[in-house]
Amino acid sequence: MKIPGEIDVQRVRRILEELRRRLADPSRPQIELDYIERLLKDY
């Protein structure tokens, strides 16, 4: 089992930040917002 390195952790943070930014954008289609909510459900 590989332990995530600092670069991996930074990459995950950037992805999560982008998903949260998109989720906060009310101009996005509802279907996309629903999908993003499902992706972020456990985070």
List the chain pLDDT tens, one digit each, 43 residues.
888 799 999 999 999 999 999 999 999 999 999 999 999 998 7
Question: What pLDDT is recorded for position 43?
Answer: 78
Contact present, 43 and 16 (Cβ < 8 Å):
yes
Q: What is the pTM of this model?
A: 0.80
CA separation for the pair 27, 37 (Å, rounded): 15
